[in-house]
Amino acid sequence: MDSFYLSLLVFSPLLGIILLAFMPKGNEKGLKMLGVLATLPATVLALVAYFSYLGGTSLDSFSEQARWIQFGSFGAMDPNLFTVRYELGIDGFALLMIVLTSILATLAAIASFHIKKEWKGYFMLFLLLEIGMLGVFTAQNLILFFIFFEITLIPMFFLIGKWGYFDKEKAAYSFLIYNGLGSAILLIVIMVLFAKTGTTNIEALKILVNSPEQVLTPISDSLKMGLFIALLIAFGVKLPIFPLHSWMLRVHVEAPPSIVMLHSGILLKIGAFGLIRFGMGIFPEEFQELSVLIAVLGVVNLLYGAFLAFIQTDFKMVLAYSSISHMGIVLIGLGAYNEAGVQGAIFQVVSHGLISALLFFLVSVMYERLQTTHIANLGGLAKGMPLASGFLLAGAMASLGLPGMSGFVSEFMAFLGLFREMPVLAAVGTLGIIMTAVYLLRAVLAITYGKSDREYAGITDIRSFEWAPVLVLIGLIILIGVYPAVLSQPLETIVQGIGG
Protein backbone atom coordinates (compact mmCIF):
# COMPACT_ATOMS: atom_id res chain seq x y z
CA MET A 1 0.00 0.00 0.00
CA ASP A 2 2.57 2.49 1.05
CA SER A 3 5.06 2.25 -1.69
CA PHE A 4 6.69 5.58 -2.25
CA TYR A 5 6.88 4.87 -5.92
CA LEU A 6 4.69 7.69 -7.13
CA SER A 7 6.16 10.24 -4.72
CA LEU A 8 9.56 9.26 -5.96
CA LEU A 9 8.39 9.62 -9.52
CA VAL A 10 6.70 12.97 -9.06
CA PHE A 11 9.44 14.57 -7.01
CA SER A 12 12.43 13.05 -8.77
CA PRO A 13 13.11 16.28 -10.71
CA LEU A 14 13.63 17.94 -7.35
CA LEU A 15 17.00 16.29 -7.13
CA GLY A 16 17.92 17.98 -10.38
CA ILE A 17 16.79 21.34 -9.05
CA ILE A 18 18.97 20.97 -5.97
CA LEU A 19 21.98 19.91 -7.98
CA LEU A 20 21.44 22.72 -10.45
CA ALA A 21 21.43 25.19 -7.59
CA PHE A 22 25.03 24.28 -6.86
CA MET A 23 26.21 24.51 -10.44
CA PRO A 24 28.09 27.58 -11.61
CA LYS A 25 26.02 29.87 -13.77
CA GLY A 26 28.24 29.94 -16.82
CA ASN A 27 28.75 26.22 -17.29
CA GLU A 28 26.45 25.96 -20.29
CA LYS A 29 27.20 22.40 -21.25
CA GLY A 30 27.05 21.06 -17.74
CA LEU A 31 23.77 22.79 -16.99
CA LYS A 32 22.16 21.47 -20.15
CA MET A 33 23.36 17.94 -19.55
CA LEU A 34 22.20 18.01 -15.95
CA GLY A 35 18.86 19.42 -17.04
CA VAL A 36 18.30 16.50 -19.37
CA LEU A 37 19.62 13.93 -16.91
CA ALA A 38 17.33 15.23 -14.18
CA THR A 39 14.27 14.38 -16.25
CA LEU A 40 15.41 10.82 -16.84
CA PRO A 41 14.56 9.21 -13.46
CA ALA A 42 10.91 10.17 -13.90
CA THR A 43 10.90 8.77 -17.42
CA VAL A 44 12.45 5.51 -16.33
CA LEU A 45 10.11 5.17 -13.37
CA ALA A 46 7.09 5.95 -15.53
CA LEU A 47 8.08 3.42 -18.14
CA VAL A 48 8.75 0.78 -15.49
CA ALA A 49 5.31 1.46 -14.08
CA TYR A 50 3.76 1.14 -17.54
CA PHE A 51 5.44 -2.12 -18.34
CA SER A 52 4.81 -3.63 -14.94
CA TYR A 53 1.16 -2.70 -15.49
CA LEU A 54 1.23 -4.56 -18.78
CA GLY A 55 2.92 -7.37 -16.91
CA GLY A 56 -0.09 -7.65 -14.66
CA THR A 57 0.66 -5.40 -11.69
CA SER A 58 -2.48 -3.76 -10.40
CA LEU A 59 -2.51 0.02 -10.57
CA ASP A 60 -3.87 0.15 -7.03
CA SER A 61 -0.56 -1.08 -5.75
CA PHE A 62 0.96 2.25 -6.72
CA SER A 63 -1.32 4.34 -4.56
CA GLU A 64 -0.02 5.80 -1.36
CA GLN A 65 -1.30 8.15 1.30
CA ALA A 66 -0.30 10.00 4.43
CA ARG A 67 -2.09 12.24 6.89
CA TRP A 68 -1.69 15.85 6.02
CA ILE A 69 -4.15 18.53 7.01
CA GLN A 70 -7.15 18.32 9.27
CA PHE A 71 -9.80 21.02 9.31
CA GLY A 72 -11.89 21.39 12.45
CA SER A 73 -12.33 18.64 15.00
CA PHE A 74 -14.64 16.16 13.47
CA GLY A 75 -12.32 13.32 14.32
CA ALA A 76 -14.76 11.96 16.82
CA MET A 77 -17.52 11.63 14.22
CA ASP A 78 -15.49 10.28 11.36
CA PRO A 79 -11.74 10.55 11.03
CA ASN A 80 -12.10 11.12 7.31
CA LEU A 81 -14.33 14.15 7.61
CA PHE A 82 -12.68 17.41 6.57
CA THR A 83 -9.36 15.69 6.34
CA VAL A 84 -7.04 16.33 3.46
CA ARG A 85 -4.60 13.56 2.94
CA TYR A 86 -1.50 13.53 0.88
CA GLU A 87 -2.61 10.78 -1.44
CA LEU A 88 -1.27 9.80 -4.81
CA GLY A 89 -2.55 7.14 -7.13
CA ILE A 90 -3.14 6.44 -10.79
CA ASP A 91 -5.64 4.87 -13.08
CA GLY A 92 -5.04 3.82 -16.66
CA PHE A 93 -5.53 7.29 -18.10
CA ALA A 94 -3.26 8.88 -15.51
CA LEU A 95 -0.66 6.22 -16.20
CA LEU A 96 -0.65 7.13 -19.87
CA MET A 97 -0.43 10.80 -19.06
CA ILE A 98 2.51 10.24 -16.73
CA VAL A 99 4.36 8.26 -19.35
CA LEU A 100 3.60 10.94 -21.93
CA THR A 101 4.61 13.74 -19.58
CA SER A 102 7.89 12.23 -18.55
CA ILE A 103 8.87 11.33 -22.10
CA LEU A 104 7.93 14.75 -23.44
CA ALA A 105 9.74 16.41 -20.57
CA THR A 106 12.93 14.58 -21.44
CA LEU A 107 12.55 15.43 -25.11
CA ALA A 108 11.71 19.05 -24.36
CA ALA A 109 14.78 19.23 -22.16
CA ILE A 110 16.80 18.02 -25.12
CA ALA A 111 15.08 20.58 -27.30
CA SER A 112 16.08 23.20 -24.72
CA PHE A 113 19.62 22.95 -26.03
CA HIS A 114 18.45 25.67 -28.37
CA ILE A 115 17.96 28.05 -25.43
CA LYS A 116 20.48 30.83 -25.57
CA LYS A 117 20.68 32.34 -22.09
CA GLU A 118 20.49 31.77 -18.37
CA TRP A 119 20.33 28.03 -18.52
CA LYS A 120 20.48 27.61 -14.76
CA GLY A 121 17.24 29.41 -14.00
CA TYR A 122 15.65 27.95 -17.07
CA PHE A 123 16.24 24.36 -16.15
CA MET A 124 15.30 24.87 -12.52
CA LEU A 125 11.94 26.29 -13.57
CA PHE A 126 11.62 23.60 -16.20
CA LEU A 127 12.04 20.85 -13.63
CA LEU A 128 9.63 22.54 -11.27
CA LEU A 129 7.12 22.59 -14.11
CA GLU A 130 7.65 18.89 -14.58
CA ILE A 131 6.94 18.22 -10.91
CA GLY A 132 3.72 20.16 -11.21
CA MET A 133 2.60 18.27 -14.31
CA LEU A 134 3.40 14.86 -12.89
CA GLY A 135 1.67 15.77 -9.67
CA VAL A 136 -1.50 16.89 -11.42
CA PHE A 137 -1.95 13.48 -12.96
CA THR A 138 -1.26 11.52 -9.79
CA ALA A 139 -3.16 13.60 -7.25
CA GLN A 140 -6.00 11.67 -5.71
CA ASN A 141 -7.83 14.54 -4.13
CA LEU A 142 -8.91 17.88 -5.41
CA ILE A 143 -6.84 20.01 -3.08
CA LEU A 144 -3.65 18.22 -3.97
CA PHE A 145 -4.66 18.46 -7.61
CA PHE A 146 -5.17 22.17 -7.24
CA ILE A 147 -1.81 22.69 -5.58
CA PHE A 148 0.03 20.87 -8.34
CA PHE A 149 -2.06 22.71 -10.90
CA GLU A 150 -0.87 26.01 -9.47
CA ILE A 151 2.70 24.76 -9.38
CA THR A 152 2.56 24.47 -13.15
CA LEU A 153 1.37 28.04 -13.58
CA ILE A 154 4.22 29.86 -11.90
CA PRO A 155 7.18 28.32 -13.73
CA MET A 156 5.25 28.67 -16.97
CA PHE A 157 4.76 32.35 -16.32
CA PHE A 158 8.46 32.92 -15.88
CA LEU A 159 9.50 30.62 -18.67
CA ILE A 160 7.30 32.49 -21.11
CA GLY A 161 8.09 35.91 -19.74
CA LYS A 162 11.83 35.53 -19.64
CA TRP A 163 12.86 33.16 -22.41
CA GLY A 164 10.15 33.98 -24.93
CA TYR A 165 10.22 36.10 -28.06
CA PHE A 166 9.29 39.71 -28.74
CA ASP A 167 5.96 40.08 -27.04
CA LYS A 168 6.80 37.71 -24.24
CA GLU A 169 5.67 39.78 -21.28
CA LYS A 170 2.23 40.30 -22.68
CA ALA A 171 1.93 36.60 -23.44
CA ALA A 172 3.04 35.70 -19.95
CA TYR A 173 0.50 38.03 -18.38
CA SER A 174 -2.39 36.91 -20.50
CA PHE A 175 -1.41 33.33 -19.66
CA LEU A 176 -1.45 34.17 -15.99
CA ILE A 177 -4.70 36.12 -16.02
CA TYR A 178 -6.68 33.52 -17.92
CA ASN A 179 -5.30 30.58 -16.05
CA GLY A 180 -5.54 32.41 -12.77
CA LEU A 181 -9.22 33.06 -13.38
CA GLY A 182 -9.69 29.47 -14.45
CA SER A 183 -8.07 28.14 -11.31
CA ALA A 184 -10.03 30.58 -9.17
CA ILE A 185 -13.23 29.06 -10.53
CA LEU A 186 -11.80 25.63 -9.98
CA LEU A 187 -10.99 26.54 -6.40
CA ILE A 188 -14.56 27.67 -5.80
CA VAL A 189 -15.84 24.34 -7.07
CA ILE A 190 -13.39 22.46 -4.89
CA MET A 191 -14.30 24.46 -1.81
CA VAL A 192 -18.02 24.04 -2.31
CA LEU A 193 -17.59 20.32 -2.74
CA PHE A 194 -15.35 20.18 0.33
CA ALA A 195 -17.75 22.15 2.46
CA LYS A 196 -20.72 20.12 1.37
CA THR A 197 -19.25 16.67 1.55
CA GLY A 198 -16.34 16.98 3.91
CA THR A 199 -13.94 15.31 1.56
CA THR A 200 -12.00 16.08 -1.57
CA ASN A 201 -11.01 12.55 -2.37
CA ILE A 202 -12.08 11.90 -5.92
CA GLU A 203 -13.24 8.35 -5.44
CA ALA A 204 -15.24 9.32 -2.37
CA LEU A 205 -16.78 12.27 -4.19
CA LYS A 206 -17.87 10.05 -7.04
CA ILE A 207 -19.99 8.09 -4.59
CA LEU A 208 -21.13 10.94 -2.37
CA VAL A 209 -22.18 13.41 -5.05
CA ASN A 210 -24.13 10.85 -6.99
CA SER A 211 -25.94 9.27 -4.11
CA PRO A 212 -29.58 8.94 -5.04
CA GLU A 213 -32.04 11.37 -3.46
CA GLN A 214 -29.17 13.23 -1.83
CA VAL A 215 -29.02 10.73 0.98
CA LEU A 216 -25.37 11.16 1.70
CA THR A 217 -24.84 14.81 0.93
CA PRO A 218 -26.95 17.92 0.74
CA ILE A 219 -26.16 18.86 -2.86
CA SER A 220 -29.15 19.80 -4.92
CA ASP A 221 -29.36 19.01 -8.61
CA SER A 222 -29.18 22.64 -9.62
CA LEU A 223 -26.08 23.15 -7.51
CA LYS A 224 -24.51 20.13 -9.15
CA MET A 225 -25.26 21.55 -12.55
CA GLY A 226 -23.79 24.87 -11.50
CA LEU A 227 -20.66 23.21 -10.23
CA PHE A 228 -20.29 21.23 -13.41
CA ILE A 229 -20.64 24.29 -15.60
CA ALA A 230 -18.06 26.05 -13.45
CA LEU A 231 -15.78 23.07 -13.91
CA LEU A 232 -16.37 23.13 -17.64
CA ILE A 233 -15.34 26.78 -17.76
CA ALA A 234 -12.32 26.24 -15.53
CA PHE A 235 -10.99 23.42 -17.66
CA GLY A 236 -12.32 25.03 -20.81
CA VAL A 237 -9.86 27.85 -20.33
CA LYS A 238 -7.07 25.33 -20.15
CA LEU A 239 -8.15 23.17 -23.07
CA PRO A 240 -8.96 25.82 -24.54
CA ILE A 241 -12.56 25.97 -25.65
CA PHE A 242 -13.65 28.73 -28.03
CA PRO A 243 -13.93 31.65 -27.13
CA LEU A 244 -11.54 31.29 -24.21
CA HIS A 245 -8.56 30.50 -26.38
CA SER A 246 -6.77 33.73 -27.13
CA TRP A 247 -4.22 33.45 -24.34
CA MET A 248 -3.06 30.17 -25.74
CA LEU A 249 -2.31 31.62 -29.16
CA ARG A 250 0.02 34.14 -27.60
CA VAL A 251 1.76 31.48 -25.58
CA HIS A 252 2.25 29.31 -28.65
CA VAL A 253 3.78 32.14 -30.58
CA GLU A 254 5.84 33.83 -27.91
CA ALA A 255 7.08 31.06 -25.67
CA PRO A 256 10.30 29.24 -26.54
CA PRO A 257 9.43 26.17 -28.66
CA SER A 258 10.80 23.71 -26.12
CA ILE A 259 8.33 25.07 -23.61
CA VAL A 260 5.53 25.04 -26.15
CA MET A 261 6.26 21.36 -26.67
CA LEU A 262 5.32 20.83 -23.05
CA HIS A 263 2.58 23.40 -23.06
CA SER A 264 0.80 22.12 -26.09
CA GLY A 265 1.73 18.53 -25.35
CA ILE A 266 0.81 18.32 -21.69
CA LEU A 267 -0.54 21.48 -20.13
CA LEU A 268 -3.46 21.85 -22.53
CA LYS A 269 -4.26 18.23 -21.84
CA ILE A 270 -4.77 18.95 -18.17
CA GLY A 271 -8.01 20.55 -19.27
CA ALA A 272 -9.10 17.36 -20.98
CA PHE A 273 -7.81 15.26 -18.10
CA GLY A 274 -9.77 17.34 -15.62
CA LEU A 275 -12.92 17.18 -17.68
CA ILE A 276 -12.73 13.42 -17.93
CA ARG A 277 -11.54 12.70 -14.41
CA PHE A 278 -13.68 15.19 -12.52
CA GLY A 279 -16.34 16.33 -14.92
CA MET A 280 -17.23 12.88 -16.11
CA GLY A 281 -16.27 11.13 -12.90
CA ILE A 282 -18.02 13.27 -10.32
CA PHE A 283 -20.87 14.68 -12.43
CA PRO A 284 -21.78 11.95 -14.91
CA GLU A 285 -25.45 12.90 -15.16
CA GLU A 286 -24.74 16.56 -15.74
CA PHE A 287 -22.13 15.60 -18.27
CA GLN A 288 -24.63 13.55 -20.16
CA GLU A 289 -27.18 16.33 -20.02
CA LEU A 290 -24.75 18.80 -21.49
CA SER A 291 -23.17 16.37 -23.91
CA VAL A 292 -24.87 17.99 -26.89
CA LEU A 293 -23.45 21.34 -25.87
CA ILE A 294 -20.01 19.85 -25.47
CA ALA A 295 -20.19 18.17 -28.86
CA VAL A 296 -21.32 21.42 -30.47
CA LEU A 297 -18.47 23.26 -28.79
CA GLY A 298 -16.19 20.58 -30.11
CA VAL A 299 -17.34 21.02 -33.68
CA VAL A 300 -17.10 24.79 -33.32
CA ASN A 301 -13.56 24.46 -32.00
CA LEU A 302 -12.64 22.09 -34.78
CA LEU A 303 -13.93 24.27 -37.59
CA TYR A 304 -13.03 27.62 -36.08
CA GLY A 305 -9.45 26.59 -35.51
CA ALA A 306 -9.20 25.03 -38.94
CA PHE A 307 -10.56 28.01 -40.85
CA LEU A 308 -8.38 30.47 -38.99
CA ALA A 309 -5.32 28.30 -39.38
CA PHE A 310 -5.95 28.52 -43.10
CA ILE A 311 -5.18 32.25 -43.31
CA GLN A 312 -2.29 32.56 -40.88
CA THR A 313 1.05 33.77 -42.14
CA ASP A 314 3.18 32.59 -39.26
CA PHE A 315 3.72 28.86 -39.03
CA LYS A 316 3.54 28.99 -35.26
CA MET A 317 0.12 30.59 -35.54
CA VAL A 318 -0.98 27.83 -37.88
CA LEU A 319 0.08 25.29 -35.29
CA ALA A 320 -1.58 27.26 -32.52
CA TYR A 321 -4.91 27.31 -34.31
CA SER A 322 -4.42 23.71 -35.27
CA SER A 323 -4.14 22.91 -31.56
CA ILE A 324 -7.50 24.59 -31.00
CA SER A 325 -8.90 22.60 -33.84
CA HIS A 326 -7.51 19.34 -32.53
CA MET A 327 -8.78 19.97 -29.05
CA GLY A 328 -12.15 20.17 -30.74
CA ILE A 329 -11.81 16.49 -31.49
CA VAL A 330 -11.31 15.82 -27.80
CA LEU A 331 -14.54 17.65 -27.09
CA ILE A 332 -16.30 15.82 -29.89
CA GLY A 333 -15.30 12.51 -28.38
CA LEU A 334 -16.38 13.58 -24.92
CA GLY A 335 -19.61 15.01 -26.22
CA ALA A 336 -20.44 11.70 -27.84
CA TYR A 337 -20.34 10.26 -24.34
CA ASN A 338 -20.03 6.66 -25.35
CA GLU A 339 -17.20 4.19 -25.24
CA ALA A 340 -15.84 4.94 -28.67
CA GLY A 341 -16.05 8.69 -28.17
CA VAL A 342 -14.37 8.86 -24.80
CA GLN A 343 -11.64 6.48 -25.87
CA GLY A 344 -11.16 8.60 -28.96
CA ALA A 345 -10.89 11.72 -26.82
CA ILE A 346 -8.24 10.15 -24.62
CA PHE A 347 -6.36 8.87 -27.65
CA GLN A 348 -6.48 12.35 -29.10
CA VAL A 349 -5.07 13.77 -25.88
CA VAL A 350 -2.05 11.49 -26.10
CA SER A 351 -1.72 11.63 -29.84
CA HIS A 352 -1.91 15.39 -30.13
CA GLY A 353 0.60 15.64 -27.32
CA LEU A 354 3.09 13.71 -29.38
CA ILE A 355 2.30 15.35 -32.70
CA SER A 356 2.36 18.92 -31.52
CA ALA A 357 5.55 18.25 -29.61
CA LEU A 358 7.09 16.98 -32.82
CA LEU A 359 5.93 19.93 -34.87
CA PHE A 360 7.09 22.47 -32.34
CA PHE A 361 10.40 20.78 -32.03
CA LEU A 362 10.82 21.14 -35.77
CA VAL A 363 9.82 24.79 -35.45
CA SER A 364 12.59 25.13 -32.93
CA VAL A 365 15.03 23.49 -35.33
CA MET A 366 13.98 25.80 -38.14
CA TYR A 367 14.03 28.94 -36.07
CA GLU A 368 17.47 28.20 -34.75
CA ARG A 369 18.85 28.11 -38.29
CA LEU A 370 16.71 30.54 -40.20
CA GLN A 371 15.54 32.99 -37.53
CA THR A 372 12.03 33.07 -38.87
CA THR A 373 8.85 31.08 -38.80
CA HIS A 374 6.96 33.18 -41.30
CA ILE A 375 5.69 31.01 -44.08
CA ALA A 376 6.51 33.57 -46.72
CA ASN A 377 10.13 33.79 -45.59
CA LEU A 378 10.66 30.07 -45.61
CA GLY A 379 9.94 28.09 -48.76
CA GLY A 380 11.97 25.46 -50.53
CA LEU A 381 13.16 24.03 -47.24
CA ALA A 382 13.28 20.56 -48.79
CA LYS A 383 16.27 21.66 -50.79
CA GLY A 384 18.41 22.82 -47.91
CA MET A 385 17.12 20.62 -45.13
CA PRO A 386 15.61 17.54 -46.74
CA LEU A 387 15.48 15.54 -43.52
CA ALA A 388 13.86 18.28 -41.48
CA SER A 389 11.28 18.93 -44.13
CA GLY A 390 10.64 15.22 -44.50
CA PHE A 391 9.87 15.03 -40.81
CA LEU A 392 7.81 18.18 -41.02
CA LEU A 393 5.75 16.58 -43.73
CA ALA A 394 5.43 13.42 -41.65
CA GLY A 395 4.32 15.49 -38.68
CA ALA A 396 1.76 17.29 -40.79
CA MET A 397 0.47 13.99 -42.13
CA ALA A 398 0.14 12.67 -38.60
CA SER A 399 -1.66 15.82 -37.60
CA LEU A 400 -4.15 15.65 -40.43
CA GLY A 401 -5.06 12.14 -39.42
CA LEU A 402 -3.22 9.91 -41.81
CA PRO A 403 -3.94 6.26 -41.08
CA GLY A 404 -0.98 4.40 -39.71
CA MET A 405 -0.28 7.33 -37.41
CA SER A 406 -1.80 8.10 -34.07
CA GLY A 407 -3.92 11.04 -35.22
CA PHE A 408 -6.11 8.84 -37.34
CA VAL A 409 -7.02 6.39 -34.62
CA SER A 410 -8.20 9.10 -32.27
CA GLU A 411 -10.03 11.06 -34.95
CA PHE A 412 -11.69 7.91 -36.17
CA MET A 413 -12.87 6.85 -32.75
CA ALA A 414 -14.10 10.29 -31.78
CA PHE A 415 -16.17 10.51 -34.93
CA LEU A 416 -17.27 6.90 -34.61
CA GLY A 417 -18.66 7.82 -31.23
CA LEU A 418 -20.32 11.02 -32.33
CA PHE A 419 -21.88 9.50 -35.43
CA ARG A 420 -23.76 7.13 -33.19
CA GLU A 421 -25.27 9.88 -31.05
CA MET A 422 -25.53 12.91 -33.34
CA PRO A 423 -24.93 11.96 -36.96
CA VAL A 424 -25.80 15.33 -38.45
CA LEU A 425 -23.48 17.24 -36.18
CA ALA A 426 -20.77 14.69 -36.85
CA ALA A 427 -21.23 15.10 -40.58
CA VAL A 428 -20.71 18.83 -40.19
CA GLY A 429 -17.62 18.04 -38.14
CA THR A 430 -16.10 15.94 -40.90
CA LEU A 431 -15.71 19.16 -42.84
CA GLY A 432 -12.95 19.74 -40.33
CA ILE A 433 -11.11 16.68 -41.63
CA ILE A 434 -10.94 18.28 -45.06
CA MET A 435 -10.02 21.69 -43.69
CA THR A 436 -7.24 20.19 -41.61
CA ALA A 437 -5.70 18.76 -44.74
CA VAL A 438 -6.16 22.07 -46.51
CA TYR A 439 -4.50 24.33 -43.98
CA LEU A 440 -1.72 21.95 -43.06
CA LEU A 441 -0.75 21.25 -46.64
CA ARG A 442 -0.96 24.92 -47.49
CA ALA A 443 1.44 25.80 -44.71
CA VAL A 444 3.76 22.82 -44.85
CA LEU A 445 4.06 22.70 -48.61
CA ALA A 446 4.75 26.40 -48.72
CA ILE A 447 7.60 25.80 -46.31
CA THR A 448 9.07 22.64 -47.73
CA TYR A 449 8.25 22.56 -51.43
CA GLY A 450 8.36 25.28 -54.01
CA LYS A 451 11.11 27.55 -55.16
CA SER A 452 13.56 28.83 -52.64
CA ASP A 453 15.14 32.25 -52.75
CA ARG A 454 17.16 31.42 -49.73
CA GLU A 455 20.78 30.49 -49.71
CA TYR A 456 21.03 27.20 -47.88
CA ALA A 457 24.78 26.94 -47.92
CA GLY A 458 26.14 26.45 -44.44
CA ILE A 459 22.81 25.46 -43.01
CA THR A 460 22.94 22.06 -41.46
CA ASP A 461 20.13 19.59 -41.51
CA ILE A 462 18.98 17.78 -38.39
CA ARG A 463 22.08 17.05 -36.35
CA SER A 464 23.29 15.04 -33.35
CA PHE A 465 21.05 15.69 -30.34
CA GLU A 466 18.13 16.71 -32.52
CA TRP A 467 17.68 13.18 -33.74
CA ALA A 468 16.50 11.91 -30.39
CA PRO A 469 13.23 13.87 -30.08
CA VAL A 470 12.38 13.47 -33.74
CA LEU A 471 12.88 9.74 -33.85
CA VAL A 472 11.26 9.02 -30.50
CA LEU A 473 8.20 11.10 -31.33
CA ILE A 474 7.76 9.74 -34.86
CA GLY A 475 8.31 6.25 -33.53
CA LEU A 476 5.62 6.64 -30.87
CA ILE A 477 3.21 8.27 -33.31
CA ILE A 478 3.54 5.39 -35.73
CA LEU A 479 3.50 2.78 -32.97
CA ILE A 480 0.17 4.07 -31.69
CA GLY A 481 -1.16 4.36 -35.21
CA VAL A 482 -0.25 0.83 -36.15
CA TYR A 483 -0.81 -0.90 -32.85
CA PRO A 484 -3.26 1.18 -30.81
CA ALA A 485 -3.58 -1.52 -28.18
CA VAL A 486 -0.61 0.10 -26.40
CA LEU A 487 -3.02 2.83 -25.40
CA SER A 488 -6.33 1.07 -25.36
CA GLN A 489 -5.27 -1.60 -22.91
CA PRO A 490 -4.86 0.66 -19.87
CA LEU A 491 -8.09 2.42 -20.79
CA GLU A 492 -10.35 -0.60 -20.82
CA THR A 493 -11.65 -0.18 -17.30
CA ILE A 494 -12.10 3.56 -17.69
CA VAL A 495 -14.05 3.46 -20.87
CA GLN A 496 -16.15 0.45 -20.11
CA GLY A 497 -19.78 1.15 -19.59
CA ILE A 498 -19.76 4.85 -20.43
CA GLY A 499 -22.98 5.96 -21.99
CA GLY A 500 -24.40 2.45 -21.76
Partner 1 sequence: MENAWLIPLFPLLSFLALLLFGKRLKEASAYVGILLTLASLVFSVIVLVGRLTGATYKLEADWLQIGDLQLTVGFEVNQLNALMLVIVSLVSFLVHTYSKGYMHGDQRFPVFYAYLGLFTFAMLGLVLSPNLLQTYIFWELVGVGSFLLIGFYFNKESAKAAAKKAFIMTRIGDVGLFIGMILLFWQTGSFEYDEIFASVHAGEVSGTMITLTAILIFIGAVGKSGQFPLHTWLPDAMEGPTPVSALIHAATMVAAGVYLVATMFPLFAASETAMSTVAIVGAVTAIFAATIGLTQTDIKRVLAYSTVSQLGYMMLALGAAGYAAGVFHLMTHAFFKALLFLAAGSVIHAVHTQDIEKMGGLWKKLSFTAPLFLIGTLAISGVPLFSGFFSKDEILIAAWANGNYILFWLAVIAAFFTAFYMFRLFFMVFSGKARSEMKNVHESPVSMTGPMIVLGILAVVSGYVNTPWFGTFLGDWLVEGNEALGHGHIEGPAWIMIVATVVSLAGIYLAYLMYSKRSISRDWFTSRAPTLYSIVVNKYFIDEIYQTTIVYATKAISLFLRFIEMFLVNGLVQLVTGIVRGLGKTGAKLQNGQIQTYGTVAFLGLAVLLLIFALTGGYLNG
Residue of 53, 149, 178, 283 that binds partner 1 (CB under 8 A)? 178
Collapsing DSSP to helix, strand or coil, 83 comes out as strand
280 is a site residue for partner 1 (CB under 8 A): no
Rounded to a whole number of angstroms, the minimum distance from the CB of residue 279 to partner 1 is: 19
79 is a site residue for partner 1 (CB under 8 A): no
Q: List Cα–Cα distances, 420 to 87, 287, 341, 473, in angstroms.
A: 38, 17, 9, 32
Question: Which H, E and C letters describe 242-306, residue by residue?
Answer: CCCCHHHHHHHHHCCHHHHHHHHHHHHHHHHHHHHHHHHHHCHHHHHHCHHHHHHHHHHHHHHHH
Rounded to a whole number of angstroms, the minimum distance from the CB of residue 244 to partner 1 is: 8
Rounded to a whole number of angstroms, the minimum distance from the CB of residue 4 to partner 1 is: 33
Q: How many CA atoms lie within 13 A of 196 on its CB side?
A: 21
Q: Which stretch binds partner 1 (CB under 8 A): 75-83, 91-99, 434-442, 460-468?
A: 434-442
| Residue whose CB is less far from partner 1, 8 or 311 | 311
| Residue whose CB is less far from partner 1, 331 or 416 | 416
343 is a site residue for partner 1 (CB under 8 A): yes
| Residue whose CB is less far from partner 1, 52 or 488 | 488
- Sort 377 into a burial class: Cβ within 10 Å, 0-12 / 13-18 / 19+: middle
Q: Which stretch binds partner 1 (CB under 8 A): 138-146, 172-180, 197-205, 354-362?
A: 172-180
Collapsing DSSP to helix, strand or coil, 167 comes out as coil
Rounded to a whole number of angstroms, the minimum distance from the CB of residue 352 to partner 1 is: 18
Q: Which phi and psi (to 5°) does residue 26 adopt?
A: -90, -5
Q: Which stretch binds partner 1 (CB under 8 A): 269-277, 284-292, 407-415, 466-474?
A: 407-415
CB 124 within 8 A of CB 20: yes
- What is the per-residue DSSP string for 310-352? HT-SBHHHHHHHHHHHHHHHHHHHHHH-SHHHHHHHHHHHHHH
Q: List Cα–Cα distances, 112 to 102, 222, 238, 364, in angstroms.
A: 15, 48, 24, 9
488 is a site residue for partner 1 (CB under 8 A): yes
Mask for 367-396, x = binds partner 1 (CB under 8 A): -------------x-xx-------------
493 is a site residue for partner 1 (CB under 8 A): no
454 is a site residue for partner 1 (CB under 8 A): no
| Residue whose CB is less far from partner 1, 367 or 412 | 412
Q: Which stretch binds partner 1 (CB under 8 A): 135-143, 200-208, 355-363, 436-444?
A: 436-444
Q: Specify which residues 84 forms β-bridges with.
A: 69
Instruction: Name the amino acid, one letter, at 278.
Output: F
Q: Which phi and psi (to 5°) does residue 311 adopt?
A: -110, 10
Q: How far apart are CA 88 and CA 494, in angstroms?
A: 18
Residues 287-316 contacting partner 1, CB under 8 A = 304, 307-308, 310-311
430 is a site residue for partner 1 (CB under 8 A): yes
Residue of 29, 371, 451, 458 that binds partner 1 (CB under 8 A)? 451
Rounded to a whole number of angstroms, the minimum distance from the CB of residue 483 to partner 1 is: 8
Q: Which stretch binds partner 1 (CB under 8 A): 124-132, 149-157, 280-288, 437-445?
A: 437-445
404 is a site residue for partner 1 (CB under 8 A): yes
Q: How far apart are CA 484 and CA 236, in angstroms?
A: 27
420 is a site residue for partner 1 (CB under 8 A): yes
Helices (H) and strands (E) in the chain, counts: 22, 2
Q: List Cα–Cα distances, 125 to 73, 121, 153, 420, in angstroms.
A: 38, 6, 11, 45
88 sits in which H/E element: strand 83-88
Residues 213-252 contacting partner 1, CB under 8 A = 242-247
* Residues that bind partner 1 in the complex, under the rule CB under 8 A: 174, 177-178, 181, 242-247, 304, 307-308, 310-311, 338-340, 343, 380, 382-383, 397, 402-404, 408-409, 412-413, 415-416, 419-420, 423, 426-427, 430-431, 433-435, 437-438, 441-442, 445, 448-451, 483-485, 488-489, 492, 495-498
